[in-house]
Structure 1
Amino acid sequence: MRPIEETGIGALIIIALYMLLYICPYIERRLFRRNPSTNRMGSRLSREEMEVAFQDVRPGRLSRMGTVAKVAGGGGDVFRVKKVRRIGADGTAERFGGGERDGETDTVTPSNMDDTMERGATRMGGAGRSESSLHPLVQFVDSLSFIETTLPRPAPALTPPESPKETLAKRWTASPALLHVPSPNPQQPRQQEQAHLQDPFAEPAELLPPLAINQNSKAAVRTSSLLDNDTLQRLVTKSGQAAIHGTRAREEAPERVAASYYSYVPGQSEETSMFSEQEMKLMRVEEQYIAKMDDEMTIRPGDQVLVEVQYADGGCGAAKNSAYLKSLPTRSFASIADKKVALSTFEPNQYVNYQRIEDNLKIVRDRLGHPLTLAEKIVYGHLDNAKEQDIKRGSSYLKLRPDRVACQDATAQMALLQFMSAGLPTVAVPTTVHCDHLIEAQIGGEKDLARANEINKEVYDFLATCTAKYGIGFWKPGSGIIHQIILENYAFPGGLMIGTDSHTPNAGGLGMVAVGVGGADAVDVMANIPWELKCPKVIGVKLTGRLNGWTSPKDVILKVAGILTVKGGTGAIVEYYGPGVDSISCTGMATICNMGAEIGATTSLFPFNERMGDYLRATKRADIADYARSFRHNLTPDEGARYDQVIEIDLNTLEPHINGPFTPDLATPISKFAKTVEEKGWPAEMKVGLIGSCTNSSYEDMERAASLAKQALAAGVTAKAKFVITPGSEQIRATIARDGHVETFEKIGGVVLANACGPCIGQWDRQDVKKGEKNSIVTSYNRNFTGRNDANPATHAFVTSPDLVTAMVFSGDLRFNPLTDTLKTADGKDFKFEAPGGNELPPRGYDPGVDTYQAPPQNRASVNVAVDPQSNRLQLLTPFKPWNGKDYEDIPVLIKVLGKCTTDHISMAGPWLKYRGHLDNISNNMLIGAINIENNKANSVRNELNGEYAPVPAVARAYKAANIPWVVIGDENYGEGSSREHAALEVRHLGGVAVIVKSFARIHETNLKKQGMLPLTFANPADYEKIDPQDHVSILGLTTLSPGKPVTLRVHKKSTGKHVDITLNHTFNEGQISWFKAGSALNKMAKEAADRA
């Protein structure tokens, strides 16, 4: 037996060794904290670091560490993790791995790193799992902080290491390579320093990108100086995210950006240094030029800067002396404008103008002094005069400079006729016209298109020559629906576009503020006149969770419509944000924005993210994707941005919805729909299922629908209802044909229509039911107003996702729920659909199909635009008469409308579309769908000149012939629906002077103003009841009409012989009052042009 002394000494030695092992890392951390030449301690992992450490990362999986990227330095494939902390949304850290105590270590080897997880973070050699449901790569990169290593410190040296992989590992672990601390000798040749940075012995670019590893934070970089809070919030990583205090990466939207890397000489408080090209790459400003240090300075390659450095106590406390960067007297400037990116492949000489947004927002931020929503950034970024413009949400009128104009063929006719009247040689902004509305669905794609070309030849020729004459891009019949073409070719993040169609907001899926307007507004912009918009409110929709199973992007907007109703978004932009956004494809976001028109929203949009970048690259616009990423600070909302209303939707629990009939805001979740059908007595048999349209005709939509059709085919289940498919564009049609989806649809009896609007806007020669026969159809379209799709007021139209439409076709019954119910196969077996699936982008890329674009010719002067005076399709415009300067007194009410009155009620589409270029002919459909409260009939009003009832247009023409002005009385949200200005033009053309209602839809109110009409609202909505259809009215106070000042409606009661005075409000500003006095906005424009001549 050994002496007790020997045993005691041995025990003491063992205890001492254990204590030494335990405290060494702590001592190491304390020693290394201030030493700029040692290992980085406590650094946060960025996306780029993870890509270096975990090569070959795939969605849903984190691959092994150590097999491709070795963490060298004596440990071989072994990487010791000291502490793993998860950073929550509020910035606080919580430990969820690394053993029971902070001092314990876990070892990550090639074998145990392969233990990946379906959701959350990879296990760190047995450490705890993250319970997050986020995408695994995002979760691991963005949620793990403070990974402290115990790797041996590599010696800083410029000599090549033994292998490229060792170099790779050392750049990941070593402070000098990561932070770019220059040689202690300030006079060291620059090229030698660059050689160290560029590292010719490193792995190829795909393994070693320019490493923006340093997230520049108080807690992350303990060996470098600390930036003050004001500068920190301007730091931008390579992926475009700003890091605040290093506790987490956030998507910030700073007004300007500070450098994330800077040079300094240890031990000196101030030293001059030159930024190399490689350093500029690390700062993400080599090409984008976005690294502003302060208001007066922008760093470019080769610029000199002064950097003052003061270490912080403990490496992660508040800085004693904040670091700052300032310019030397000699300074070169750069701007976002130095980067030229074409608006589209069709407009190579027109460029994305992010500099205007940057400049305007600097002014606006100083003026408003609060964080901005994304909607505000884009709208205010396009102000014509940011310094002097009154900016008040919901009240002031903004003058804006849109980036482009888009017109569809039905509205383009009148818009171009108006533009021709202005006498201008060319359009001032990029403009396109798209032929999609005039193609009627009868038999199928090719035959319907051929018939449309023959019937509409006169109109198509007019549009082709007029666009050529005035420098406008022309998309021929068959090219596709305007909104799909715009998304594929023209929409870009941060842009502002107006379009003569109410579903123009579709482009919000690519982060563009896209607003539906009337033709007169489009003419203003084409004529280089600032576009006027009432400063919109902003409704925030926060999305959490992830889309899954049967729930689709369409269900998001169907749910929102049920919450906000058809008028809840009036005067507002709906802005989607939150973690759930990233689970939605770009085209899915477009679907949501498209149907924002159904809630009356000015527009809807999403913040820029990588799903948009993927779509831009897939549609051959990678340069825009890269440019947008560099400008991301202005393509996402500021933290703390204020919304006028916030709605929160959990995508994890969101059910598929079916909305309708007769209104798009009657929302019913699928689990309750069968019961509702029974209770309401709706026709349960589903006659036709229709998918496609501008709302749901993406590749993802079509592939998911095809996946359901394939399931049914495999099981031998046949369709019980007719099935109709409308591709959104020639590119979509060609791609789904190439990939076999068209064949799949045809095998189940589907009919593929032309690339056009078709049944969605009433261009459907439907033969399977008689007019007036009750029936039900289910579509993936956007609107389901009475008679809209097939001109049959008895058709019950329901709106849902393409997935539900396709599945329900096999049942033929509205009460079928594909999530829970089964169908019978031919041999009597039960069949149940599995949830649909599909790629959001075609794996083989898009097939462009047939070229259907006509560019403006170089020599436009020789182009002749002719309009036949005998044409019944086209008619040159005659200016409306100016106001005579007097009040309107003792004039009749043409019609008092009962209930809902959309633009479809005021100016129907369908067969009337062919007259959109002939104002007098199309005026024969004015208000024929509106219900007269006097007799509860449509298109039947009393003519007080003879006491007989007649069609509304006929009575209006009789009054006009007798030189008798008249008014319309209406209910709530009057004029909701499409942007068609004919609903205002026809009323003006047939002698109307005012429309007096409880409330207006935004576009229609503006259209009335543009045509010299008086859109007026009851100060007290109950006063609607005080007017009878037989009464006469006087509108008093017009001679003193001014902004904010009400006018008086004197009602001359026929029943009593007395009169009642009612107060009416209006939203005219001074410029709009001048339109009224001139007779129309076009009259005013023409007069001003003549005065300048």
Structure 2
Amino acid sequence: MPSLDSLQCRRSLEAAGKTYHYFSLPAAAATLGEIDRLPVSLKVLLENLLRWEDGVTVRREDFVALAQWLNTRSSEQEIQYRPARVLMQDFTGVPAVVDLAAMRDAVARAGGDPQRINPLSPVDLVIDHSVMVDRFGNDQAFAQNVAIEMQRNGERYEFLRWGQQAFDNFRVVPPGTGICHQVNLEYLGQVVWTRDEDGDTYAYPDTLVGTDSHTTMINGLGVLGWGVGGIEAEAAMLGQPVSMLIPEVIGFRLTGRLNEGVTATDLVLTVTQMLRKHGVVGKFVEFYGPGLDNLPLADRATIGNMAPEYGATCGFFPVDRITLDYLRLTGRSEERIALVEAYAKAQGMWREHDSPDPLFTATLELDLSQVRPSVAGPKRPQDRVALGDIGASFDLLLETSGRKQQTDTPFVVAGESFSLKHGAVVIAAITSCTNTSNPSVLMAAGLLAKKAVERGLKRQPWVKSSLAPGSKVVTDYLERAGLTAYLDQLGFNLVGYGCTTCIGNSGPLPDAIGQTIADNDLIVSSVLSGNRNFEGRVHPLVKANWLASPPLVVAFALAGTTRIDMERDPLGYDAQNQPVYLRDIWPSSAEIAAAVGRIDGEMFRSRYADVFTGDDHWQKIAVSAGDTYQWNAGSSYVQNPPFFADIGQPPAPPADIEHARVLAVFGDSITTDHISPAGNIKASSPAGLYLQSLGVQPEDFNSYGSRRGNHEVMMRGTFANIRIKNEMLGGEEGGNTLHQPSGERLSIYDAAMRYQAEGVPLVVIAGKEYGTGSSRDWAAKGTNLLGVKAVIAESFERIHRSNLIGMGVLALQFVGEQTRQSLGLNGTERLSIRGLGADIRPHQLLTVEVVRSDGSHGTFQVLCRIDTLNEVEYFKAGGILHHVLRQLIGS
């Protein structure tokens, strides 16, 4: 920590008999003026700047700008933020480690020492995204899914084990342990981090960036963290600061307490709807108010988790007594707990019931007693629907899709004694970090299952049900509460520890059910306790996806349909043919509290004692040695990417883009799920055909996510989502386009390759909120490899905009009221982008020249969304990793 300490604010404190040094905010206030009412999240940023002051990347004016924020409640000051650590999951982690390995190769080719490529910040990679629900509904499902996972992912896991031994500061949590965010919450997160330097121990806030947008779940623990693309995370690992503007902070005041029968899931869906409506993209959200006294830490983590869904950079909760109680519950040491309390109080980061409210850019308020049971869907997490209205909401979906006349039509399933109707629940999954971190909703699901079994209810036979907890501790406490057997009886057997249905790893539907849906174009439903329900994400055959609490997931599995009013209609009938309603089997708050009260710290200590060891499958993986990776040319999972092939050459200065063609024209809310390869690989797709050319059979394709270490697969799957709509084809679904000027209909990949052969640069045109959703680095990497030089959109989601610049792709924004429609852009044009050069600067206006297919000409202006001076340097170098690598080779 090379701090100049120009404010002379280095101090020491005592905790549990040990002395810690720290950079004191109250001491800094002697120079900066009153800062006590800064939002706590900004106090964390200020401490970070004090600790990293070097006169170059962090200067005194940065401190002053943060102190002055209280006067303006916003700032245009760019700061350089250095998080304490990096968190990865394996889907995004594998390509990051591939890039590190490729960078070692590049350094070796340049005659340097490949050992210079090492994470400088601690990195934890948790393998949690690879398990799929292939087997379900029986007590062998977990063991079978683990065996299939290890067989499918052997090449990837061998590569990660090599990385584990080759890189310093890099730890891997093996598969079958839990979801990275829950492992982070229960074990990795420390709230206050420590580091030994020159014989002294320094204490400072635990901060991080993660390669999953739901990294924000750790905000519930008072740890500032958010999701970044894998590209940014790799740069942070290699010592590059995160360049950012001092954010606006929206205060969300909570009062009251939740009513009987209302869950944390209902609360977070309400919060998400409110914040999306307010507009918090690119902003911090910080929760405060007396309602925090009644909000358990797991509920806070549930709210923090869904920050990407409400659009914020983070959803932060300050440290208080409830934080310490959770640290103690999850088995953290008493020494760490004492340090957290002493440090937070010394820095003015501690919340008491009567603490003065911080000052915010704007505020919202919610009385917790006004929250009602809810679901969200059928396509977006912010579209909250009152529980009783889901049937009417689904009927509206049928009407708008022209299926209203088929509302009650049964479609016979071959070989089965049941039929399917529109609205049938074919997937019911207790899944994802959002809720499987929360003991109250999981115990509620188990208690509801117990009451349902006792009343003689059963899961409907067309429902694929699954339980995928976020950590093994969940299994322990459900078992201790005596609830596992009841969940098993309803088909909610353990299927794996990881992120399953929420990311499209729902696995196949039974053949006859899938065939019936496809043959009759049925609109069927999934109900999942996750955070993401974007179109085409959960399963390609399931068009309506609903987010719900774990107990409601069980209830919908019993009902078997979303065309139901859960508050009025029976879920089923008991042995005496008497109707059983949701209210009859819903557990009371007292019952849930009693079950949660049986959890203790020893469960966590025992489960995390050997968290990095792994099972026999993991231990038996053979690992190649060496500082550089021995690439296997025959691997279909891991290949050496081409990004650094010409790193020895000086980068060409930015130049105008001449006579580009439009690869695709998209509408609003194109997500990174639409752009980046995700989910299943179709046999007839470019990626499927490539894999078959290698001898890989369709049943062994695995998912796009599992093949992120192979650029050949990923570039073929970019823009290949089955639900993406290219306006050049009249809004037809699927990843196709029209090659210009031939007008030939091709896959987007094939068209891009033809344009590359013709030497034609490419542009993508889109509407609002381009790149919303998960922080998928391949959404930017694939765009780059297809030859796209610029994306012109009405607005960008934060992470994807940054990732585009980080891969050398221009993010350009329409100015004022102009849109693709107002400018008459239809994809047949040739576009030239003027004003690029060595003097390019943030937020510069550029001119786009248009030559239409009829020969007419026009121009319009766009805003260059290179937002910071650091990003200028990254763009000039060809990308952020290229910038870092050139610096290393040059030095």
2:739 aligned with 1:1073: no
| Equivalent of residue 1017 in structure 1, options 804, 813, 823 | 813
| Equivalent of residue 88 in structure 2, options 395, 403, 407 | 407
2:592 aligned with 1:838: yes
Instruction: Using CA pairs under 8 Å that are at least 6 residues apart, name the structure with larger relative contact order, 1 or 2.
Output: 2
**1:932 Cα deviation after fit:** 0.8
2:637 aligned with 1:873: yes
Cα distance in structure 2, aligned partners of 1:369 and 1:629? 20
Structure 1 residues 583 and 816, CA, compared in 2 at 3 Å: closer, same or farther? Answer: farther
Q: Deviations over 1:600-640 (max 9, x none)?
A: 21111212222221221122213332222223343347734
Cα distance in structure 2, aligned partners of 1:877 and 1:1010? 16
| Equivalent of residue 1035 in structure 1, options 809, 833, 843 | 833
Specify the alignment match of 1:965 in structure 2. 761
What pairs with 1:646-665 in structure 2 (closer than 5 Å)?
Answer: 646-665=363-382
Specify the alignment match of 2:164 in structure 1. 467
Structure 1 residues 946 and 1053, CA, compared in 2 at 3 Å: closer, same or farther? Answer: closer
Q: Deviations over 1:86-117 (max 9, x none)?
A: xxxxxxxxxxxxxxxxxxxxxxxxxxxxxxxx
Specify the alignment match of 2:442 in structure 1. 702
Partner amino acid, structure 1, of 2:720? I
Specify the alignment match of 2:344 in structure 1. 632
Specify the alignment match of 2:856 in structure 1. 1057
8 A Cα contact 1:478 1:852, kept in partner: no
Cα distance in structure 2, aligned partners of 1:984 and 1:386? 32
Secondary structure at the counterpart of residue 631 of structure 1: helix
Structure 1 residues 1044 and 676, CA, compared in 2 at 3 Å: closer, same or farther? Answer: closer
Cα distance in structure 1, aligned partners of 2:869 and 2:598? 51
| Equivalent of residue 428 in structure 2, options 678, 686, 689 | 689
Structure 1 residues 926 and 838, CA, compared in 2 at 3 Å: closer, same or farther? Answer: same
Secondary structure at the counterpart of residue 120 of structure 2: coil
**1:408 Cα deviation after fit:** 0.7
**1:373 Cα deviation after fit:** 0.6
Specify the alignment match of 1:825 in structure 2. 574
Q: Deviations over 1:150-202 (max 9, x none)?
A: xxxxxxxxxxxxxxxxxxxxxxxxxxxxxxxxxxxxxxxxxxxxxxxxxxxxx
Secondary structure at the counterpart of residue 307 of structure 2: helix
Cα distance in structure 1, aligned partners of 2:307 and 2:8? 41
Partner amino acid, structure 2, of 1:521? E
Cα distance in structure 2, aligned partners of 1:534 and 1:367? 21
2:221 aligned with 1:510: yes
Cα distance in structure 2, aligned partners of 1:386 and 1:694? 38
Partner amino acid, structure 1, of 2:389? K
8 A Cα contact 1:473 1:854, kept in partner: no
Cα distance in structure 1, aligned partners of 2:183 and 2:777? 22
8 A Cα contact 2:86 2:209, kept in partner: yes
8 A Cα contact 2:37 2:359, kept in partner: yes
Cα distance in structure 2, aligned partners of 1:971 and 1:447? 44
**1:1044 Cα deviation after fit:** 3.1
Specify the alignment match of 2:178 in structure 1. 480
8 A Cα contact 2:866 2:872, kept in partner: no
**1:364 Cα deviation after fit:** 9.8
What pairs with 1:411-450 in structure 2 (closer than 5 Å)?
Answer: 411-420=92-101, 421=103, 423=114, 424-443=116-135, 444-450=141-147
2:351 aligned with 1:678: no
Specify the alignment match of 1:803 in structure 2. 551
Structure 1 residues 670 and 1089, CA, compared in 2 at 3 Å: closer, same or farther? Answer: same
What pairs with 1:41-120 in structure 2 (closer than 5 Å)?
Answer: none
2:532 aligned with 1:783: yes
**1:477 Cα deviation after fit:** 0.9
| Equivalent of residue 729 in structure 1, options 461, 471, 474 | 471
Q: Deviations over 1:246-294 (max 9, x none)?
A: xxxxxxxxxxxxxxxxxxxxxxxxxxxxxxxxxxxxxxxxxxxxxxxxx
Q: Deviations over 1:862-916 (max 9, x none)?
A: 6663321332211223336644542112111111112321011001312211220
8 A Cα contact 1:734 1:849, kept in partner: no
2:674 aligned with 1:900: no
Structure 1 residues 1005 and 566, CA, compared in 2 at 3 Å: closer, same or farther? Answer: farther
Q: Deviations over 1:407-444 (max 9, x none)?
A: 11111122122233164253222211111112221002
8 A Cα contact 1:1017 1:1064, kept in partner: yes
2:125 aligned with 1:380: no
Cα distance in structure 1, aligned partners of 2:297 and 2:577? 41
Specify the alignment match of 1:21 in structure 2. none
Cα distance in structure 1, aligned partners of 2:425 and 2:14? 55
Q: Deviations over 1:736-775 (max 9, x none)?
A: 3454332221112223211011111111222243445320
Secondary structure at the counterpart of residue 971 of structure 1: coil
- Structure 1: give runs of 5+ residues left out of the alignment: 1-294, 298-332, 342-350
Specify the alignment match of 2:612 in structure 1. 853
**1:370 Cα deviation after fit:** 6.7
8 A Cα contact 2:380 2:533, kept in partner: yes
Aligned residues with identical type, % of pairs: 27
Structure 1 residues 459 and 679, CA, compared in 2 at 3 Å: closer, same or farther? Answer: closer
Specify the alignment match of 2:272 in structure 1. 561
Aligned residue pairs, count: 750
2:708 aligned with 1:916: yes
Cα distance in structure 2, aligned partners of 1:452 and 1:842? 33
**1:401 Cα deviation after fit:** 1.6
Partner amino acid, structure 1, of 2:32? D
2:77 aligned with 1:396: yes
More helix by share: 2
TM-score when normalising by structure 1: 0.65
Secondary structure at the counterpart of residue 1054 of structure 1: coil
Specify the alignment match of 1:251 in structure 2. none
Partner amino acid, structure 2, of 1:623? E
8 A Cα contact 2:162 2:625, kept in partner: no
Specify the alignment match of 2:286 in structure 1. 575
2:310 aligned with 1:599: yes
Cα distance in structure 2, aligned partners of 1:459 and 1:537? 40
Specify the alignment match of 1:131 in structure 2. none
Q: Deviations over 1:450-501 (max 9, x none)?
A: 1111111111111111122112111111111111111111123342110101
8 A Cα contact 1:1046 1:1066, kept in partner: no
Secondary structure at the counterpart of residue 336 of structure 1: strand
Specify the alignment match of 1:983 in structure 2. 779
| Equivalent of residue 501 in structure 2, options 747, 750, 759 | 759
Partner amino acid, structure 1, of 2:468? T
Cα distance in structure 1, aligned partners of 2:206 and 2:22? 12
What pairs with 1:215-294 in structure 2 (closer than 5 Å)?
Answer: none
Structure 1 residues 902 and 394, CA, compared in 2 at 3 Å: closer, same or farther? Answer: farther
**1:361 Cα deviation after fit:** 7.9
Q: Deviations over 1:1004-1042 (max 9, x none)?
A: 011111111111111124332212210111111112421
Partner amino acid, structure 2, of 1:1020? G
Cα distance in structure 1, aligned partners of 2:176 and 2:31? 45
Secondary structure at the counterpart of residue 306 of structure 2: helix
8 A Cα contact 2:146 2:496, kept in partner: yes
Q: Deviations over 1:3-23 (max 9, x none)?
A: xxxxxxxxxxxxxxxxxxxxx
- The structure with more radius of gyration: 1
Cα distance in structure 1, aligned partners of 2:524 and 2:246? 43
Cα distance in structure 2, aligned partners of 1:1065 and 1:863? 40
Structure 1 residues 527 and 1031, CA, compared in 2 at 3 Å: closer, same or farther? Answer: same
Structure 1 residues 1024 and 842, CA, compared in 2 at 3 Å: closer, same or farther? Answer: farther
TM-score when normalising by structure 2: 0.79
Cα distance in structure 1, aligned partners of 2:25 and 2:165? 34
Secondary structure at the counterpart of residue 874 of structure 2: helix
Cα distance in structure 2, aligned partners of 1:802 and 1:741? 14
